[in-house]
Every structure is written in structure tokens, then in C-alpha cells.
Structure 1
Amino acid sequence: MKKWLLLFVFALLVVAGCANKAEEEELAYLDVKMAVEEKLPANEEVELACFVTYGDEKVTDASEVKFEVWKHGDDNREKIEGKHAGDGKYVARYTFETKGTYTVVAHVTAKNMHNMPKVDIVVE
């Protein structure tokens, strides 16, 4: 009887150890790094960009990438679709028509997660 109890406890420990390893592997998260210059020119087309990773993997199949842009003090917000440019980089082209301080937020959905990093930029 002791033999069966020990065997059962050993099997339980093995299964628990495997479950913990699987949980550790699933701890990856969606990371989005903005790649937008802090100072940009007015009335010139510029690149809004971000790099998307999930753990060590570069995300090439995000279900949504949009850049939301608005000028400080203005309620008018624009959303521009981002396109995959390779190696987990997503870009959109945009022209800031007036000088001032703007906020750019990347709305990224991938791997059943959503991330919204934000950066403030000065347009001169």
C-alpha cells in the first residue's frame, strides 16, 4: 500500500512540475516600443512607427495596429492604419499640418492582447 501511495505522490509531483513549466512559458506578453522622433517638422510627411514583440518573437501578424494622433488642447483625434514593414515593425505615414505638441498612441492588438504605448512629440 505504501508503494502505491509513494508512486501516486511521485506522479503528482511530476505533473505539477510540468504544469509550472508550461505556465512559465505562457508568461510572455505583448510589448510595443514606439519609434517616433521627439521632434518632427510641420508640413512634411513623416513616419510613425512601432516595434511589436511577444516574448522573444517579432509579431508579424497583429490583428490591429492604429496610430492615434492629436494636438494638445484639441479634441480632434485621427487614427491612421499601421502596416507591417517587416521584422515586427509597423508604420504609417502622416503629415502634421501645424506646429505644436502632439500625442501619438499606438493601438496594437495581437496574440489576444492589447497594448497602447504613448509618446509626446513637438512639431516645429
Structure 2
Amino acid sequence: MKKLFFTALLISALAIFIVGCGNSDNKNGQEKTTMEPLEVELNVQEKAKVNETIQLSSLVTQGKEKVSDASEVKYEVWEDGAKDTTSKMLNAKNKKNGTYTSEVAFDHDGVFNVQVHVTARDMHVMPKKTVIVGSPDPSNATSSTDKKEHDSENSVVMHFMSPDHAKAGEAANFTIHMTKHNELLTGAQVQIEAWMKGDEKPEWIKLEDAGKGEYKGTHQFDRAGDYQLKVHVENNQGLHEHQDFDFVVK
């Protein structure tokens, strides 16, 4: 009789444990699907004097929470039209209140771009703003057509919600959340152009519209190395934008 009693007790305890684990898994799954996107408010003054030190500040939030645990925040600065030759990266200081700051000075007249790269909680956001320094030569000014393209580029915010690395020979799952003018971007055609740094031939990854501004796709990388990802976004209203992300395959 005692043996039957202890057997029944063991079975009951095991059932409670399994139910508890199931509830925990459901809860975790629910938290994943309801995770809010990362938002980054970049604050940079629009005009500056030559050799004037200006402050760069970004407020990082997720929903109503101020994000103070970003894994990486850097500011990229370059002269308009000469990114390949003038781009430089500046480390940001974490103020522990959701704000990340740095500072920069420009040694000559011109139009400069400031872009903050924020990586936090498996998401990557990179808004950009322009600073006019001194009195730029009008002959070097960006044309109205180019300005429209720059303004359009700033209108789409991409939240790279996938991990920043994958394993060679295994499927890598990509999820990108997109907004345009603070509204969910749906119905777009999204592709990722991926190439290993030093190579010229890219691989193309098509992402499907999963609704609610999310685009998802899967790809297997055969070789380990440092990759560059360029996300291309187009739609039937003439939208055509792209953003670059770093990606590591181990």
C-alpha cells in the first residue's frame, strides 16, 4: 500500500512540474512575440562653427523603458558626399539613464552627417542627422534631388531584431522591424545583400512580409567570416532605401 501511495505521489508531482514548465514556456514565448521595438532619438544641433565642439546625444527607449544596457553605441561622422574617405567612428558614453553621448568638432566649412549606431537587446537602430558647419561652398551643396533622397532615407527606421552572428552551415533566421514616419511599414519588398568582406560576389536573401512591420527570412552561410549586410527596401510608391549592418558567421 505504501509503495502505491508513493508512486501516485511521484506521478502527481511530475505532472505539476510538466504543467509548470509548459506555462513558463508559453509565457516566454508570449514575451518574445510582444517585444516592443527599440526607439532611438538622436539629438544634434543643426548648425555649428568651425572648430566648435558640439554634443552628440541619443535617448534609447523600448516602450516606456529607458534602455541603459545597450551592448554597443557608436557615432559615425562623415562629410557629405565623401563617406568612403572621411568617415570616422566615435565611442559613446553611457549615462546610465538611457542616454548615450559623445562630442565632435569639424575643422572646416561643409555639410556633415552624424549617424548613431545602437545595438541593444538583439536589435540594431541607426538614425542619422545633418550638421551645417560654417559657410559651405554653395557649389558643393547637395542638390534638391539628393536632399529628397537623404530625407527619404531618414524616414525609414530599421530595427534589426536578429542576433548579430550565425554559425556556418546552419540556418540563420533574420527578422527586421520597419517603421516609416513612426508608422509600421507594410507591403514592401525587402532583400538582404550579403557578402564577406573582401569578396565582390554577394548572396541575396529575400525576406517575406510577416505583417505588423516585420519582415522575416532564413539563409545558410557556408563560410565563416565577417560579413556586410545591406538591407534593400522598396515599394510600389517609389520607396527605395538601404541600410548597412555588420554580421559575423562563426
The residue number in structure 2 matching 1:121 is 131
CA distance in 2, matches of 1:23, 1:92: 33
TM-score (norm 1): 0.77
Question: What does residue 109 of structure 1 align with?
Answer: 119
Q: Give, as a single letter, the amino acid of the residue that structure 2 aligns with 1:43.
A: N
Structure 1 portions without partners, runs of 5+: 1-14
For residues 32 and 107 of structure 2, the distance between their equivalents in structure 1, rounded to whole angstroms, comes to 47
1:27 Cα offset (Å): 3.4
CA spacing shift, 1:77–1:111, aligned 2, 3 Å: same
Name segments (4+ residues, structure 1) moved above 4 Å.
none
Counterpart code for 1:26: T
Are the counterparts in 1 of residues 45 and 54 from structure 2 also a CA contact under 8 Å?
no
Cα deviations by residue, 1:66-118 (Å, 9 ceiling, x for unpaired): 00000113232000001112421110111111111111110000011000001
Q: Name the CA distance, whole Å, in 2 between partners of 1:24 and 1:66.
A: 27
User: Would the alpha carbon gap of residues 45 and 115 (structure 1) be closer, same or farther in structure 2, given more than 3 Å must change?
Assistant: same
RMSD over aligned CA atoms reads: 2.1
Q: Deviations over 1:38-61 (max 9, x none)?
A: 112220211111110111110111
1:96 and 1:37 map into 2 onto residues whose CA distance is 13
Q: Does 1:91 align with 2:101?
A: yes
For 1:2-31, what per-residue CA distance to the aligned partner results, in whole angstroms no more than 9, with x for missing partners? xxxxxxxxxxxxx9xx87xx3697231111
Higher RCO (CA 8 Å, separation ≥ 6 residues): 1
Q: Partner of 2:78 in structure 1?
A: 70
**TM-score, normalization by structure 2:** 0.40
- 1: CA distance between counterparts of 2:32 and 2:103? 38
- Tell me the number of residue pairs that the alignment of Structure 1 and Structure 2 aligns: 107
Task: Name the residue aligned to 1:52.
Answer: 60
Matched, 1:35 2:55: no
Give the aligned residue type for 2:40.
Answer: V
Unaligned segments of structure 2, at least 5 residues: 1-22, 135-250
State the identity as a percent.
Answer: 39
Q: Which amino acid in the other structure matches residue 66 of structure 2?
A: K
